[in-house]
Amino acid sequence: METKIKSIESYSGDNICLVRITDGDGAQGWGMTAPFAANISALVLHQIAAGTAFASHNSPDVNDFTDVADEVIRRNYKYLGTFLARAAAGIDTALWDLEAKKKGVSAAVLAGKKSGRDYIDLYASSMKRDLPVREEADRLREIQDKFGYRAIKLHPGIPVGRDRDFWDGRTEDMVRAMIETARPGTEIYVDVNGNYSVEKAIETARFLHDCGVKFFEEPCPYWKTEETKAVRDACEKIGIPVAGGEQDYIDTVWENMIERRVMDICQPDLLYLGGFSRSLRVAKLAASKNLPVTPHTSNRSPIFIMGLHYMAHIDNPYPFLECGIEEDLWATECYTPQIIIKDGRAAVPDGPGWGFEPDEDFLAKAHYQISRND
């Protein structure tokens, strides 16, 4: 590999950890680890991942910078898990920014912009799970009118909740109310975050299909691949696609899920999965099986920007990308400029790199760490 990484710096807040890489030429790039528990990702980044990223420069197993995250994960096989992948994502996304900036292009252009799209259509993704049904439906309609979204995703039910709801019938009432309240023709998606048993998922799938819901996301606990597969097979007959994959960070698990069609729509999280490079590979694999891809980007941290580049690049984008609608300062205060949403879509930043810069106040307040390749 050509790029010699000279240093890896991190700036951690409560939820966000921004990462800066400097190479041997003094070129720099910004990336981030996956959101939440940022301090743990930062610790894993410096204590475990950084050394192997430095060493990858001289490794015969690394062809270019897009292999570094894989090598970091492989060499640290005793530490496999979400935190290692989150840390690797920080390195990988900073390298994408650095390499794209060196060439003066956007990340999407560096990747090769196959979809040819300059604008990405977005679906409004609600993160409120337990609001009164009327309040949530009205809130979402208001947001729809303001930003022009043509698709909306609900998150009803309790995550991995063993078939339980916040109160009896809320999920069904919420779906019906949303359909009545949204603009006519709005696509409605439902994500239950692994709430259901196979039986309850199939029963719910019938209801959702009858309501005209366009996809059913994460019906069963995601690590129970066989349960999700059973539900998907039933849903094919019912006539509603199953979406999923946001939590999965093991490439062989992705290969298995795509090969066996555990889901119809693939939703890798670019950062949980270990970065842009690894996520591009999943998209390529999904495309080979004609499965559409729309990444998990449920908040407006820089992951959302990376999602725009990703959707601009890949062969097989789903028509809409997830756009978190909550006004979460934790996600937006760390960078500028914010992405403008109009007519239910956003422009793919021109770059160079990702097209964002860290916020100076965020950096000043963040916990700073550096690993040097001496």
* Residue 261 buriedness (CB in 10 A; 0-12 / 13-18 / 19+): middle
Q: Which is nearer to its own copies, 78 or 237 (CB)?
A: 78
Q: Which stretch binds its own copies (CB under 8 A): 73-81, 96-104, 171-179, 231-239?
A: 73-81
Q: Which stretch binds its own copies (CB under 8 A): 36-44, 92-100, 312-320, 364-372?
A: 36-44
Q: Can residue 373 be called a binding residue for its own copies (CB under 8 A)?
A: no
Q: What letter represents residue 132's amino acid?
A: P
Q: Which is nearer to its own copies, 74 or 139 (CB)?
A: 74
Question: Which residue is associated with the tokens 């301090």?
Answer: 39
Q: Which is nearer to its own copies, 36 or 362 (CB)?
A: 36
> What does residue 136 show for φ and ψ, rounded to 5 degrees?
-65, -40
Q: Can residue 74 be called a binding residue for its own copies (CB under 8 A)?
A: yes
Q: Which is nearer to its own copies, 47 or 338 (CB)?
A: 47
DSSP letter for each residue of 108-171: HHHH---S--SEEEEEEE---SSS-HHHHHHHHHHHHHHH--SEEEE--S-TT-TT--SSTTHH
Q: What letter represents residue 63's amino acid?
A: N
Site mask for its own copies (CB under 8 A), range 141-170, x = bound = ------------------xx-x--------
Between the CA of residue 134 and those of 58, 85, 194, 361, what are the distances in Å?
59, 39, 24, 38
Site mask for its own copies (CB under 8 A), range 266-305, x = bound = ----------------------------------------
Q: What letter represents residue 251's amino acid?
A: D
Which residue in the set 27, 37, 198, 238 belongs to the binding site for its own copies (CB under 8 A)? 37
Q: Can residue 58 be called a binding residue for its own copies (CB under 8 A)?
A: no
Q: Which is nearer to its own copies, 84 or 107 (CB)?
A: 84
Q: Distance between CA atoms of 76 and 52, rounded to whole angstroms?
A: 8
Q: Distance between CA atoms of 225 and 222, rounded to whole angstroms?
A: 6
Q: Distance between CA atoms of 121 and 321, rounded to whole angstroms?
A: 6
Report the site for its own copies in 182-241 (rule: CB under 8 A).
194, 221-226
Instruction: Tell me how far, at minimum, the Cβ of 222 lies from its own copies, in Å.
Output: 7
Q: Which two tokens stand for residue 244?
A: 């999923």
Q: Distance between CA atoms of 351 and 118, rounded to whole angstroms?
A: 12
Q: Which is nearer to its own copies, 114 or 260 (CB)?
A: 260
Instruction: Tell me how far, at minimum, the Cβ of 210 lies from its own copies, in Å.
Output: 29
Q: Can residue 79 be called a binding residue for its own copies (CB under 8 A)?
A: yes
Q: Distance between CA atoms of 150 and 139, rounded to whole angstroms?
A: 15
Q: Which stretch binds its own copies (CB under 8 A): 42-50, 182-190, 233-241, 325-333?
A: 42-50
Q: Distance between CA atoms of 152 and 322, rounded to whole angstroms?
A: 9
Which secondary structure element, helix H or strand E, spans residue 371, and what is its range?
Answer: strand 367-372
Instruction: Tell me how far, at minimum, the Cβ of 36 lies from its own copies, in Å.
Output: 7
Q: Which is nearer to its own copies, 162 or 289 (CB)?
A: 162
DSSP 192: -
Which residue in the set 1, 18, 21, 48 belongs to the binding site for its own copies (CB under 8 A)? 48
**Which positions touch its own copies (CB under 8 A)?**
36-37, 39-40, 43-44, 47-48, 61, 74-75, 77-85, 159-160, 162, 194, 221-226, 247, 249-252, 256
